[in-house]
Structure 1
Amino acid sequence: MSTAQAPARPAPTKKLNLYKGDPGMWSWVAHRISGVAIFFFLFVHVLDTALVTVSPESYNAVIDTYKTPIVGLMEIGLVALVLFHALNGLRIVLIDFWLKGAKYQRQMLWAVLAIWVVVFAAATARLLFLLFQHL
């Protein structure tokens, strides 16, 4: 007489994590963060520009605040965000509309980062030159 054996349990599988730390995932996160930051900048920009119709004196005070070195450094951050968001947005368009886009998305990400570094370095040099010129 033979005994029936219970089927062997499969080895527990590792739970797959959607956010696994891939550079593409960090690009996705950075794209969202840069988009939100640019939105808030534009919101504040529209408000302070509209201030000229309400109170020209207040508008001039706000503009004087924008001429401080801290705001000059914030402009460099804004350039970094806008530049990354634009370049990464072009990469996303290529991934979506180019048949081979998904296949080359990692290479395009590294190209975006390389272009970003070169252009941002040039922009930073120019902005720092202007910042120190007005001190």
Structure 2
Amino acid sequence: MKVFEAKVKYKMHPGYLSWILHRVTGVLLGLYLFLHIWVIHHLAQGEEAFDEVMGIVQAPLFHLLEIGLLGTVVYHGLNGLRVVFMDYGNLARREIMRKAVYAVFAVSAVLILVGAVPMLRLALGL
């Protein structure tokens, strides 16, 4: 029996990397939604239960995870806008699409760094 061999090998070009990151950040945001609902759920159980949960999520580990959340939200949002502009605008041409992907990476990195500095200072108690 002959085993099927793939004829196409995917290259890690910017558009493909952007596609993967958009899916990963979407899944991570979905998982975060469950954590958010769990925390908010404790509001209905009274002030004491909510304070207990807030004590847990104020740990330094959660402050570091908030930086990851910031990165996830920023990248997913900006890349989503790029996809919309690609679908309805003129970004579908290869040379423009590649520049748009790099622009999303660069703007995301800047925004994440700007937002992460105060969050990191809070997490480290500086």
- TM-score category (smaller protein): 0.7 to 0.9
Q: Which has the higher contact order (CA 8 A, sep 6+)?
A: 2
Structure 1: 4+ residue segments shifted above 2 A: 54-58, 129-133
Structure 1 residue 15: deviation in Å? 1.8
1:61 is aligned, of 27, 52, 56, to 52
Match of residue 127 from structure 1:
119
* Aligned residue among 92, 95, 114 for 1:102: 92
Shift of 1:55: 4.3
The count of aligned residue pairs is: 119
Q: Which residue of 2 aligns with 1:38?
A: 29
Q: CA RMSD in A?
A: 1.7
Q: TM-score, normalised by structure 2?
A: 0.86
Q: TM-score, normalised by structure 1?
A: 0.80
Larger radius of gyration: 1
Q: C-alpha separation between the residues in 2 aligned to 1:119 and 1:48?
A: 27
Unaligned runs of 5+ in 2: 1-5
User: Secondary structure of the residue that 2:43 maps to in structure 1?
Assistant: helix
| Equivalent position SS for 2:12 | coil
Identity of paired residues, percent?
34
Higher helix share: 2
